[in-house]
């Protein structure tokens, strides 16, 4: 199932890690994850979210603010009942844990390029296979997964297609133009609009959109910590001015959460 990120040969368990026939070896960290991100595939010393961003997201999500999003993802995954699934860009593992609970008999994998995120994610469910790896070079075999999840994450569509079995699919969860609109209006003089379906132009040949829905609700953030964490886990935490960010943190905030679920299925 796992493949070598250097030569793409199959990986087998050895000692406290995995190795391929060419003897490329990768040790399992004491937290339980495998680091399958070779140094030559890194764009920086520690790519992905840093510790502060990971901790902000963990506090916010564990506070239940996005619980309806995770619940609906788990329901949609359970309806499809895959034998093997992968969470691409799992972050600190909040949504991954919900998927694992909904798919108790399936073989689950999760990856992120951020080592700090995966170190914390693997505490949520040690039975899953947790990987530090590149989304552009996912170290899993061709046609090995029936279900892929991509939640608020960048996505390599060709890699997703490569991983899917015929009839399998990708569940992409991303924001609509309404998402956090009130927050953006407080942070910027001009709120840039964007198309909710621009990602449809990226879907590769052989994959079809088979389902789409939007989940929308109002969210009240009554603590400064929750508001600060929301800022820290979004691009607005560094794009907006320090003055505008401080003003948001000071006052209670009600925002619209509006997220789109798209299921793209690989032709049989």
At 172 the three-state DSSP class reads strand
Residue 42 confidence (pLDDT) above 70:
no
Residue 65 annotated as binding site:
no
Per-residue confidence (pLDDT) for residue 38, from 0 to 100: 80
Q: At what angle do helices 224-232 and 51-62 cross, to 10 degrees?
A: 130
Residue 261 annotated as binding site:
no
190-248 pLDDT, tens digit per residue, is 888 878 888 989 999 999 999 999 999 999 999 999 999 999 988 887 888 899 999 99
Per-residue confidence (pLDDT) for residue 196, from 0 to 100: 83
Of the pLDDT bands very low, low, confident and very high (cuts 50, 70, 90), residue 102 is: very high
Instruction: State the average pLDDT for the chain.
Output: 93
Phi first, then psi: give them for residue 261, nearest 5 degrees. Answer: -110, 120
Per-residue confidence (pLDDT) for residue 192, from 0 to 100: 82
Residue 143 confidence (pLDDT) above 90:
yes
Question: In the structure encoding, which two tokens stand for residue 259, read together?
Answer: 């997220």
75-79, 127-131, 191-195, range with the lowest pLDDT: 191-195
Q: Which segments of the chain are extended strands (E)?
A: 12-14, 17-19, 25-27, 34-35, 84-88, 107-112, 129-132, 145-151, 164-175, 207-221, 253-266
Q: Where are the alpha helices (DSSP H) in the chain?
A: 51-62, 67-80, 94-102, 115-121, 157-163, 181-187, 224-232, 236-239, 242-250
154 contact partners, CB below 8 Å, separation of at least 6: 89, 135
Residue 93 annotated as binding site:
yes
Q: What is the mean pLDDT of residues 12-16?
A: 91
Task: Report d(CA 151, CA 172) in Å as an integer.
Answer: 6
210 contact partners, CB below 8 Å, separation of at least 6: 169, 263, 264, 265
Residue 92 annotated as binding site:
yes
Residue 90 annotated as binding site:
no
Residue 211 annotated as binding site:
no
Phi first, then psi: give them for residue 75, nearest 5 degrees. Answer: -65, -45
Per-residue confidence (pLDDT) for residue 172, from 0 to 100: 97
Contact (CB, 8 A) for 23 and 12: no
Provide CATH code, domain 12-266. Answer: 3.40.50.150
145-151 and 164-175 as β-strands: parallel, antiparallel, unpaired?
A: parallel
Question: In the structure encoding, which two tokens stand for residue 81, read together?
Answer: 């009942």
Residue 235 neighbours by CB distance under 10 Å: 8
Residue 24 annotated as binding site:
yes
**pTM score, whole prediction:** 0.93
Residue 152 neighbours by CB distance under 10 Å: 18
Q: What is the mean pLDDT of residues 4-21?
A: 93
Of the pLDDT bands very low, low, confident and very high (cuts 50, 70, 90), residue 124 is: very high
165-188 pLDDT, tens digit per residue, is 999 999 999 999 999 999 999 999
Contact (CB, 8 A) for 174 and 234: no
Per-residue confidence (pLDDT) for residue 9, from 0 to 100: 96
Of the pLDDT bands very low, low, confident and very high (cuts 50, 70, 90), residue 81 is: very high
Select from 223, 207, 206, 217 the least CA-distant residue to 256: 217
Of the pLDDT bands very low, low, confident and very high (cuts 50, 70, 90), residue 39 is: low
Greater model confidence, 192 or 136: 136
Residue 66 annotated as binding site:
yes
């Amino acid at each position: 199932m796992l493949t070598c990120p250097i030569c793409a040969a199959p990986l087998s368990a050895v000692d406290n890690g995995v190795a391929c026939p060419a003897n490329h070896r990768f040790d399992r960290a004491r937290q339980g994850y495998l680091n399958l991100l070779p140094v030559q595939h890194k764009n920086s010393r520690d790519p992905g979210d840093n510790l502060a961003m990971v901790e902000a997201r963990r506090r916010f999500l564990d506070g239940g603010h996005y619980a309806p999003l995770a619940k609906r993802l788990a329901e949609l995954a359970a309806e499809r009942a895959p034998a093997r699934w992968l969470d691409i860009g799992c972050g600190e593992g909040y949504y991954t844990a919900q998927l694992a609970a909904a798919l108790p008999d399936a073989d689950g994998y999760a990856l992120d390029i951020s080592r700090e995120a995966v170190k914390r994610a693997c505490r949520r469910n040690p039975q899953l296979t947790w990987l530090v790896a590149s989304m552009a070079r996912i170290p899993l075999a061709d046609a090995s997964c029936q279900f892929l999840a991509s939640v608020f994450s960048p996505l390599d569509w060709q890699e997703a297609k490569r991983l899917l079995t015929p009839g399998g699919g990708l569940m992409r969860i991303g924001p609509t133009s309404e998402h956090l609109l009130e927050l953006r209006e407080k942070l910027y003089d001009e709120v840039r609009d964007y198309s909710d379906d621009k990602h449809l132009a990226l879907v590769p040949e052989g994959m079809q959109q088979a389902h789409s829905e939007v989940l929308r609700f109002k969210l009240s953030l009554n603590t400064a910590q929750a508001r600060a964490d929301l800022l820290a886990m979004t691009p607005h935490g560094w794009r907006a001015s320090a003055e505008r960010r401080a003003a948001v943190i000071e006052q209670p905030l009600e925002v619209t959460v509006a997220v789109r679920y798209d299921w793209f299925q690989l032709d049989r």
